[in-house]
């Protein structure tokens, strides 16, 4: 088999959509540590991953938007005139993406409150708000296209697209204030793991029980907080957790331990 990325399902070549349809995964790794306070692209990715896990066909809509956006960027860079057709393609995909993101963020915010409550942790109220680049009350292809077209002159001056879902964000309020200003590293870690649990619960609600992958879940957490976080995942069918501290596993009832040492993995 030649180089590159290949996917197989039941010994047959399969698309990414088919893989996601069969095995939803909720992961939390070191790459997600800046989700709450880092650039908007991290929050867009988190939301889109959740949407795609529920509806794998959404991946095609996101790809269609990215492809049209890339083509429009080239036209603007080359100062070519014909961008109207690409605006129409962008508007059709963008309106669908915006509706999906708005609905998902609302459901995450509601379910997250329930997850925090079930953890028993004393945390300030957390609220998530969808902040679309295109701010319109009624999300429709026509209204989105109208907004995108209204930016044409400025986009030609800047030679880049200035509006659309690629610039969306999710505002996260912690006790009514932006989390960048008030959340400690430990609080942000707790909130990140509870957000992962929230995404999993939403998947379970549509009968798509996920596998959880939690890398270094214990870092920056004291024993009390770690036990509370582990408790939130208690109803999950399968949770894979990594840690370099052996004492962590005493807090996880029924955990099966494996040890990775010098590249070798075995029971331990």
Note the pTM of the prediction, 2 decimals.
0.87
User: pLDDT by residue for the chain (268 residues), tens digit each?
Assistant: 456 676 676 777 766 666 666 778 899 988 888 888 889 999 999 999 999 999 888 999 999 999 999 999 999 998 887 888 999 999 999 999 999 999 999 999 999 999 999 999 988 888 899 999 999 989 999 999 999 999 999 999 999 999 999 999 999 888 888 777 666 778 888 899 999 999 999 999 998 889 999 988 888 888 888 889 888 998 888 888 887 776 666 666 667 777 777 777 767 6
Q: Where are the domains of the chain?
A: 8-267
**The pLDDT value given to residue 251:** 62
CA distance 237 to 97: 30
Q: What is the pLDDT of residue 3?
A: 60
**Which pLDDT score is estimated for 69?**
96
**Residues near 231 by beta carbon (within 8 Å), at least 6 away in sequence:** 118, 119, 120
Interatomic CA distance for residues 195 and 218, integer angstroms: 16
Distance CA 226, CA 73 (A): 46
**CATH architecture assigned to 8-267:** Up-down Bundle (1.20)
Strand order through the sheet with 177-178: 126-131, 169-174, 177-178
């Amino acid at each position: 088999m030649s180089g590159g990325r290949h996917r197989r399902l039941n010994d047959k070549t399969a698309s990414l959509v088919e893989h996601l349809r069969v095995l939803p995964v909720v992961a939390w790794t070191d790459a997600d540590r800046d989700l709450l306070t880092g650039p908007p692209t991290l929050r867009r990715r988190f939301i889109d991953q959740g949407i795609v896990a529920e509806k794998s066909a959404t991946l095609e809509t996101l790809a269609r938007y990215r492809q049209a956006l890339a083509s429009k960027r080239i036209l603007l860079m080359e100062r070519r005139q014909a961008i109207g057709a690409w605006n129409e393609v962008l508007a059709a995909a963008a309106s669908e993406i915006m509706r999906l993101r708005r609905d998902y963020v609302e459901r995450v915010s509601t379910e997250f409150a329930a997850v925090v409550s079930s953890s028993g942790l004393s945390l300030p109220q957390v609220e998530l708000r969808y902040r679309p680049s295109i701010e319109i009350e009624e999300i429709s292809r026509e209204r989105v296209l109208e907004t995108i077209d209204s930016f044409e002159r400025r986009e030609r001056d800047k030679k880049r697209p200035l509006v659309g879902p690629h610039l969306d964000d999710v505002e996260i309020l912690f006790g009514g204030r932006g989390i960048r200003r008030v959340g400690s590293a430990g609080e942000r870690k707790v909130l990140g793991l509870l957000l992962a649990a929230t995404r999993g619960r939403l998947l379970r609600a549509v009968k798509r029980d996920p596998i959880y992958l939690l890398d270094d879940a214990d870092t920056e957490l004291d024993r009390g907080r770690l036990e509370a976080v582990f408790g939130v995942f208690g109803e999950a069918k399968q949770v894979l957790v990594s840690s370099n501290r052996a004492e962590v596993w005493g807090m996880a009832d029924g955990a099966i331990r494996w040890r990775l040492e010098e590249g070798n993995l075995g029971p331990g």
